[in-house]
Amino acid sequence: MEVRILGDGPSFQPLLEEARTKNVIGRLAFLGSADAGNQLCDCDILVLPAGEGESHMPLILQGWAARLPVVAINRLDHAENLQDETNCLLVQPGDAANLASQMARLARDGKTCEHLVAGGRASLAKYATRPMVLEHKRLYGQILA
């Protein structure tokens, strides 16, 4: 198994040092700020462990489109779109043990992966142009009424 790590924010150097200390550096690929969307075709699972900062929804949508099961941090801005055990697996911020457990679960449980991929694909449908236009039209109608 190889874990690919994208991004080069403030956590990058400490993560690199920890990987060296724990002697797992050979199982990690640090890709820096490479385009995440282009990396998805070579992945089996999309894991988004960061709990703060910018929204992960664009990358989650790309993951669903690429037919990947998703593991993400349970964030307030994800509440409307992510349903635990339906279209993703959610873990609490800072719970590294559960994050690792959910990653291992998906690595060995193809049925759960298939279930989450199907849920992600179903969720992706609401982001298609026509449903989004109709939803915006409905919202504007309510606001202007």
- What's the domain range around 41? 35-144
CA distances from 131 to 63, 116, 128, 135, 143 (A): 20, 22, 6, 6, 18
Domain membership flag for residue 3: no
* pLDDT value of position 51: 66
The number of domains in the chain is: 1
- Residue 130 placed within a domain: yes
Question: What does the pLDDT average to over 61-82?
Answer: 92
Q: Is 22 part of any domain?
A: no
Q: Is residue 63 situated within a structural domain? A: yes
Query: Which of the four pLDDT bands, split at 50, 70 and 90, describes residue 79?
Result: confident
Query: Could you tell me if residue 120 is inside a domain?
Result: yes
pLDDT tens per residue, range 102-126: 999 999 999 999 999 999 999 998 8
CA dist list (Å): 82 to 4, 8, 34, 56, 91: 23, 26, 25, 11, 11
Q: Please work out, in degrees rounded to the nearest 5, the angle formed at the alpha carbon of residue 124 by the alpha carbons of 123 and 128.
A: 125
Give pTM, 2 decimals. Answer: 0.81
Interatomic CA distance for residues 50 and 135, integer angstroms? 30
In a domain, 122, yes or no: yes
Model pLDDT for residues 4-62, shown as the tens digit of each residue: 887 777 778 888 899 899 999 999 888 877 777 778 888 999 998 876 766 788 889 99
Identify the CATH number of the domain in which residue 52 sits: 3.40.50.2000
140 compared with 38, residue with greater pLDDT:
140
Residue 109: per-residue pLDDT? 97
Would residue 83 count as lying in a domain? yes
Q: Does 140 reside within a domain?
A: yes
Which one is predicted more confidently, 83 or 58?
83
